Structure 1
Amino acid sequence: MTKHIELLAPGGDIDCIKAAIAAGADAIYCGLDKFNARNRAQNIDFANLQGILRLAHASNCQIFLTLNIIIVESEIPPLIRLLNKLVKTKIDGVIVQDFGMLYLLGKYFPGLKIHASTQLTTHNEDQVKFLSKLKATRVNLSRELSLDEIQSLASTGHENNMLTEVFVHGSYCISFSGLCYFSSVHGGKSGNRGRCSQPCRDQYVTTAVGKDFPLNLKDNSAYADLQELADAGVDSVKIEGRIKKFHYVYTVVDAWKKQLLRLDKHDKLITDKHDLHKVFNREFSNGFLAGDINKSMFIDNSRDNSAIRRAEIKGGCTDENIQQAKRELYDLKTEIIQTVQKDIARLSIAKAPLTLTVSGEVSSPLKLAVQTPDTSFTVFSDRLAQKNKHCAQGLNTEILLEKFKALNDTEYFIQHIDGENLQDDLFLPFKDLTIIQKKILCILNGTQGVVAPVEVPLLDKPTSLSIRPTLSLLISSVKDLHHLTSLIRSNAIEADIYFQLPQSFKNKYAELRKIFTENNIIPWFPSVLIGEDYRDSVEFLHQLQPQRPQHIVTDNTGIAYEAYQKGIAWIAGPTLNIVNSFSLLCLKEHFNCSGAFISNEISKIQIKGIKKPDDFKLYYSIYHPINLVTSRQCLFHQVTGCHKDRIDTHCIQHCEKTSSIKNLKGRTLFIKKTQGNYHRIYNEVNFLNTDIVTDVPNLFSSFFIDLRNITTKTNREVDTATLIKLFGNYLNGDFDAAKSLKQSLHPTTDIQYKKGI
């Protein structure tokens, strides 16, 4: 028997939420006006949330609140105030990215169900276990996964009491979510803060193969793959689109609802996407889901494709056919809007009225009869009412309205208090009125009860100690290792060497094992490790364990979980996006993490607010090429072309290429594919931030410089030995070395450090 799969719809504003409900969504994800990853959506304010919850729940629809951004230190107090308000609602779940928020929710707000955002880049089994340990109840998987990969993760999720949801309609991203810094570097609008300006959709200088939009993917659509998703064990199918309008939401949700109903009834599924083509789309692809990552997933047009497709069906994309298609779509859109407006006009997010009838006399309990449109009940005071012997006024409706005002913070509002049967000059202590209010709240909120505000203790700064930071070097090739080792020995340089491991080990397993056996270097595990590549990485970690490296660095939470399980010291890498003290506490307390990189996205002021736990090391990369995008797709299809139409395992293992594209403002992006790794896009110039050494003293244990061979427009005027010496001298107090570094490495940028997030 096929289980029922939840249909999860976007709700960018109130009309979209109503449209999703009218179309039959089982659940809706929406954001408040802060702390969510769709700042461009209109979103909702807290004042409307209770009415939205009432409307949704009356329609058998759940509401999940998106709190899916990274949180800087100064935002922790307002975040805690918000969470204290949310626990008093009937919200069905909160969607989270930040480790600090995961820590706060798990420890202080257990009444809120935690959903792990797609921004956490979840794509292997141990990442699911990592999130389960943090009390997440469901996870939204990376969009780049195939059905077989999804099935494995869904199975692991169910074994760990976690549901899995998968995006099935809407925008594809060229980068793995959570690992994209494109908008952050180029426009100061971080994707990890919900401000992505979508530079991947921009027009670029025409490429060698004639493409103007070389990074623009078609939209995701798994409409014809629903049975396979059900067979894979997926619990929820999620529609992307919180910046779309209500007519779009209704149309897409309605089409998917019909498909899901057919699945429930074991009817033949619809294969025609006609209804989905009525509204905005960039044409559709299921390439990732099908495990067929091919060049047809791109479209050289970032605009709506609806009219083009309609014209093609009617004989071709002539000017006449395009204009006719646009007129027809406009009329169709108008018709849809008018129909949906009628449907949603009948839906109200107004709170329900509450009538209180109060009666009481001396030496009897105070009686309150509560009437709502849905129910009625009666509560009594625990204490007997007394004759008022105080100078103050006795109980009356004005006093009761003031003392019961917390009832207005629920899905109800006090419409009227009837005190006709309330004896004059009656007295009851205010604390007893509070008890009555709590009784009413318990009944109105079902079994949730009344939750007292949580006061999260502020974190103390650790004992101030003078820290002499060390220098660390990152490389990724055997050739670089031999050269660097020789330089360090001959020049008596003090530095730790970290070796960046590839994402795929297949043909390099023995070679890499030998490297670590014969050299005193530290392994650095990459951010994306899927399927067999992940299992190879785990095996490699186990092989390293007898060598007892002082620690490892990992950008992948699956490897972090495995290291924790095996008692291996580990450092959280920079793409884990750590920006606040509670994230550090989370990793230390739950996974015995011994240190972490602070994200390069945040500013001096934002870094200064971070308090590290005792016996915990902080790291920061002060010089590196900026990895803007990490993609599972081939980025050369649209740029230089490729003799293959699709990616295969041989491509990942053996392909090694570089190229570049230029945007219309003249900025160059460097595309690089190395053996054993996915495609990456690098910024035009490297990141260099020497100021942090003096701006934030006695915080960081080590500063990193990236010596990997990655070509950008940053020129190096000195040899490697001199460069390392300059950095080392600077860390040792020779502040003139900073000037020499800026002269030796140019041009560079530290825009993220200046702007922050």
Structure 2
Amino acid sequence: MKPKIELLAPGGDIDAIKAAIIAGADAVYCGLDSFNARNRAANISFDELVGAIRLAHQYDCQIFLTLNIVILEHEFKSLVKLLNRLVNTTLDGVIVQDIGLLYVLREYFPTLDIHASTQLTTHNAGQIPFLKQLGASRVNLSRELNLREITALAKVGQQHDTLLEVFVHGSLCIAFSGLCYSTSASAGNSGNRGRCSQACREEYETTESGNNFPLNIKDNSAFFDLPALINAGVYSFKVEGRIKGANYVHTVIDSFRKQIDGYIETGELTQDGERLYKVFNRDFTNAFLRGDLNQSMFIDNPRDHSKHHAVEKFKASQGDAISVVQIFDAKQQLHADKQQINASVDEKIAHLSIDKIKLTLQFASEQGKPLTLTVITAQNDHLINADNATKTTVLTSQSPMQPSEKLSVDQETIEKRFKNIANANYELVALDTAALTDGLSIPYREVTQLKNDLLAYLNDGIATVPEVTLPKLEHYAKPSGQAPLLSMLICDPADAALADVTDGDIYFKLPDAYKRGCTKYVDFLLENPRLIPWFPAVLIGKDFDVALNILEQVKPPLIVTNNTGIAYHAQRLGINWIAGPLLNTTNSYVLLSLQQNFDCRGAFISNEISKQQIRHIARPKNFKMLYSIYHPILLMASRQCFFQQSVGCEKPRIDNGCMLSCDKSTSIKNLKGDSFAIDKQKAGYPSIYNQDQFLNTEIIDDLSDLFDGFMIDLTDIGAGDRQSPDKITLIKQFEALLSGQSEASQVLANLVPESTYQQYQNGL
């Protein structure tokens, strides 16, 4: 039996959507003007979305809508208005990042199919059932995974009846998606809100290893790895590119369509992939997929590589050096090829229409017979056979028309009820009431029913879903008179001694990576029951297995986790857990969802949001709200190495030994003079941090009534070559501040001179 493989295309605007459809995409994902993670794309209007759905369905293609950003509290009112419209379309799915929105969709809009965005950083076996429990039917995996890891997760997906998507072509972020705060902290443009300014593509001062674009990596392409992905059990092959145009989309999708179909038909790869180089690219790599993280993944040019490829290909064909004239000719030929691609795509999509269908309504009434509504629709799409271009159907009332002296279903009544038919698929061009007989009536509920029958007919026979209004959330206060408590995060076992100088909670940050079968943290935590395990955001493959073993063997009374896979298993084991700050919690519905679905006991509120945005979050009953007031500002973490392009590294590729033993640090500086610390802890992922620490003492005066606790990070991670303040001094000053000694605020500012709380002021 031939496997079902979905080719999923990007649609940044209507022309790109049309190009994807005509090129053979099985599905297209696109975004509206709001609530999507590609604000820089042209995006489309609601009416254009409905037209695109209608057009796509004529070609057996599906349309998915991206709602893949974190949602702020005040936005749910307008978001629910949008969802009320979407449920009455034939949209095929919504792509979601926010856990609160997942909750709202499952509870109030169950007819909308939910897809978990790559922004949810899904990379281990616990996260798939976590998302399935929240209503997701499919999951888009993190782009950093290799074939072995994808294969293992595909089996988990099958066990939980969850489809898996994998990105197979297009731009690669060097950072883990959903965990990049680079332009959020530096420029106020959050990737979690679709406003990423692409710091990874920026030019920096020439690094020690001689690179000017040390964070820029090549585009991803699995064009020749399709057989392995099919064998791995991947359902959907997703192409990136909503910022790119119709020519790019058509070329890439047409190439992949031919490659997939050719392989399924013949068992061989039939395409050479050369056309992929004729549209925008930064050269290609499949290193993540192959699990070979090497220096060749980087390219010191973030712009279009197609000209360079054309010249190099011409050189290879000549066998020796070529002249300046020949280089010029090669570039001119590429330019001509691109113009031909543009002209060809324009011609192919020119006849595709998303115009509304013309709608005529004809009413007729006669005593003793039902009220009759004749519905005439005229389709403008040239591809539809002329015999089927006009469709007519007749709808009738249940009761016959009877004389009435007081009430009459006349022209005025009909026009009032039907002239504003709310369906984005149709344009009402004529409302004919000439055949209505005055003085006749039926119960008005039947007129309403006739209208509902009409709306259902216009919506492909699907009954109109009634409008949903979210119930008002209850705001539960924390226990009266209870001041927020101070907690702290450590990662050095020697710092466990800090328990002797404070009564506050002490979280112990577990590593990202472990030796296989590692048990030392089990013993350490059992010997130090005061410490609360803190699980990191990324736990891939064996590292997740070891972390899960720690959870199962220690069975602590409480944990903090930034990883939803650990959260899933904590609930199954009956272990109390708190959602960490890297779960990007920005609204009340996240709290409600985590509590109701996974018995979560509390959550750290995102440090990306402002005072006003925090103030309106509703605390569920018996639920703790926490906030980190002092920590290094993580800009990005990566599975790739940041040292290869900054200070250089003698190792040609990253291996497990690098993760466990490397503890380098350096810095890079952009052309504005801003410096960023690159830090690699032993058993941690390479990370980049802001030059300033996050220090927010204002929140203690502003919002102490909302929070049960404030946390300070004493891990020294991200400090670079700066001397960190004495930890005991920091603890005492923060404790003094929480006890009402306001002068401690200035002392802390002096202890941490390079600090900011700009995100708390500006928000998202």
Give the shorter-chain TM-score range. Answer: over 0.9
Matched, 1:476 2:486: no
The residue number in structure 1 matching 2:383 is none
Is the contact between residue 84 and residue 453 of structure 1 (CA under 8 Å) also seen in structure 2? yes
Report the more deviating stretch, 85-94 or 708-717: 708-717
Give the match's secondary structure for 1:125: coil
Offset at 1:36?
0.4
Within 5 Å, which residues of 2 pair with 1:571-590?
Answer: 571-590=578-597
Q: Do 1:53 and 1:411's aligned partners in 2 also have CA atoms closer than 8 Å?
A: no
Q: Is the 1:172–1:219 contact (alpha carbons within 8 Å) kept by the matching residues of 2?
A: yes
Give 3-state SS (helix, strand or coil) of 1:20's partner.
Answer: helix
Amino acid across the alignment from 2:331: K
> Of residues 488, 497, 502 in structure 1, which corresponds to 2:511?
502
Please show how residues 493-532 of structure 1 align to structure 2 within 5 Å.
493-506=502-515, 509-519=518-528, 520-532=530-542
Question: Residue 543 of structure 2 corresponds to which residue in structure 1?
Answer: 533
1:526-566, Cα deviation, whole Å (9 max, x unpaired): 00011111111111100111xxx331000000000000111
The residue type equivalent to 1:688 in the other structure is L
* 330, 352, 359: which one aligns with 2:335: 330
Amino acid at match of 2:15: D
Structure-2 change in CA distance of 1:5 and 1:696 (3 Å): same
* TM-superposition CA deviations, 1:224-248 (whole Å, max 9, x none): 0111111011111011000101111
Select the residue among 747, 758, 762 that pairs with 1:751.
758
Partner of 1:453: 467
Q: Out of 352, 374, 377, which is 2:393 matched to? A: 377
C-alpha change, 1:313 and 1:95, in structure 2 (3 Å) is same
Deviation at 1:462, TM superposition (A): 1.2
Q: Residue 406 of structure 1: CA displacement?
A: 5.6
- Secondary structure at the aligned position of 2:9 is classed as strand
Q: CA deviation at 1:678?
A: 1.3
Equivalent residues of 2:678, 2:718 under 8 A apart: no
Q: Which amino acid aligns with 2:417?
A: K
- Give the AA of the match of 1:79: L
- How big is the shift at 1:727? 0.2
Q: Which residue of 1 aligns with 2:440?
A: 426
- The aligned counterpart of 2:23 is 23
Q: Which whole-Å deviations, capped at 9, do the CAs of 1:112-156 have from their partners, x for residues lacking one?
A: 000000000001111000000011111111000111111111221
Residue matched to 1:259: 259
Q: Distance in 1 between matches of 2:684 and 2:326?
A: 44
- Cα gap change, 1:636/1:715 in structure 2, threshold over 3 Å: closer, same or farther? closer
Change (3 A) 1:713 1:122: closer
TM-superposed deviation, 1:388:
4.2
What CA distance in whole angstroms lies between the structure 2 residues aligned with 1:679 and 1:146? 18
- What's the CA shift for 1:669? 1.1
The residue type equivalent to 2:693 in the other structure is N
CA displacement at 1:571 relative to structure 2: 0.4
Corresponding position of 1:213: 213
Q: How does 1:238-249 map to 2 (within 5 A)?
A: 238-249=238-249
Q: CA, structure 1 residues 336+621, in 2 after alignment: closer, same or farther (shift >3 Å)?
A: same
Show CA shifts across 1:363-403 (max 9, x none). Answer: 3211122233454332211233233423x77512x643441
Q: Aligned residue for 1:389?
A: 405
| 1:716–1:292 Cα change, 3 Å | closer
Q: Which amino acid aligns with 1:736?
A: E
Contact 2:517 2:546 in 1 (8 A): no
Aligned Cα RMSD in Å?
Answer: 1.8
Q: After superposition, where does 1:662-677 map in structure 2 within 5 Å? A: 662-677=669-684
1:328 and 1:400 mapped to 2: Cα distance? 63
Q: CA deviation at 1:336?
A: 1.3
* Distance apart, 1:57 and its partner CA: 0.7
Residue in structure 2 matched with residue 620 of structure 1 by the alignment: 627
**1:4, 1:264 within 8 Å by CA — same for their partners in 2?**
no
CA gap 1:380/1:536 in 2 versus in 1, 3 angstroms: same
- Using a 3 Å threshold, how does the CA distance of structure 1 residues 718 and 331 change in structure 2: closer, same or farther? closer
Q: Secondary structure of 2:704's match?
A: coil
In the superposition, relative to structure 1, how do residues 569 and 319 fare at CA in structure 2: closer, same or farther (>3 Å)?
farther
Structure 1 counterpart of 2:362, which letter? T
AA aligned opposite 1:355? T
Aligned-residue sequence identity (percent) comes to 49
Superposed CA offset, 1:549-592 (max 9, x none): 33100000000000011110000011100000011000000000
Cα distance in 1, alignment partners of residues 657 and 722 from structure 2: 33
Distance 2:531 2:724 in 1: 27
**Cα drift, residue 507 of structure 1:** 6.7
Q: How many residues align?
A: 746
- The counterpart of 2:361, out of the listed 356, 362, 366, is 356
Partner letter of residue 20 of structure 2? A
The letter of the residue matching 2:539 is L
Distance 2:410 2:115 in 1: 46
Change (3 A) 1:158 1:415: farther
Contact 2:484/2:704, CA 8 A, preserved across alignment = no
SS of alignment partner, residue 252 of structure 2: helix
Which consecutive unaligned segments of at least 5 residues does structure 2 have? 316-320, 379-387
Note the C-alpha offset of 1:322. Answer: 5.0
The 8 Å contact of residues 627 and 681 in structure 1, kept in 2 or not, is answered as: yes
The question of whether the paired residues in 2 share the 8 Å contact of 1:715 and 1:746 is answered with no
Structure-2 separation of matches of 1:318 and 1:476? 59
1:123 aligns with 2:123: yes
Residues 1:80 and 2:90 are matched in the alignment: no
Equivalent residue number for residue 456 of structure 2: 442
Local SS of the residue matching 1:450: coil
What residue is the counterpart of 2:101 in the other structure?
101
Please name the residue that 2:381 is paired with: none
Residue 21 of structure 1 and its aligned partner are, at CA, apart by 1.0
Once the two structures are superposed, residues 74-124 of structure 1 have per-residue CA deviations (whole angstroms, 9 ceiling, x without a partner) of 101111111111101100000000011000000000010000000000011
Distance 1:401 1:217, change over 3 A: farther
Shift of 1:320: 4.9
Distance 1:602 1:567 in 2: 31
- Which range moves more in the overlay, 418-427 or 344-353? 418-427
Question: Could you tell me how far apart the structure 1 residues matched to 2:191 and 2:481 are?
Answer: 36
The within-5 A match list for 1:37-76 is 37-76=37-76
Q: In structure 2, what residue type is equivalent to 1:363?
A: G
Matched letter for residue 348 of structure 2: D
Q: 1:522 to 1:176 in 2, by over 3 A?
A: same
Q: Distance in 2 between matches of 1:146 and 1:713?
A: 31
| Counterparts of 1:228 and 1:268, CA distance in 2 | 12
- Any conservation in 1 of the 2:679–2:720 contact (CA below 8 Å)? no
Structure 2 distance, partners of 1:296, 1:524, is: 35
1:502 offset after TM fit, Å?
0.5
Are the equivalent residues in 2 in contact too, given 1:8–1:25 (CA < 8 A)?
Answer: yes
Mean alpha-carbon deviation: is it higher for 447-456 or for 221-230? 447-456
- Does 1:553 find its partner at 2:550? no
Compute the displacement of 1:348 (Å). Answer: 0.4
Is the Cα–Cα contact under 8 Å of residues 224 and 270 in structure 1 kept in the other structure?
A: no
Once the two structures are overlaid, the 10-residue window that deviates more, 588-597 or 427-436, is: 427-436
**1:157-183 CA-partner distances (Å, limit 9, x unpaired):** 122121111110001111010000001
Note closer, same or farther for the CA distance 1:161–1:713 as it changes in structure 2 (3 Å cut): closer
Task: Please give the alpha-carbon distance, in whole angstroms, between the structure 2 residues aligned to 1:322 and 1:575.
Answer: 49
Deviation at 1:337, TM superposition (A): 1.2
Residue identity opposite 1:477 in structure 2: D
CA–CA separation in structure 2 for the residues paired with 1:319 and 1:708: 56
Indicate the SS of the match to 2:507.
strand
Contact 2:423 2:455 in 1 (8 A): no
Deviation at 1:408, TM superposition (A): 4.3
Structure 1 gap segments, 5+ residues each: none
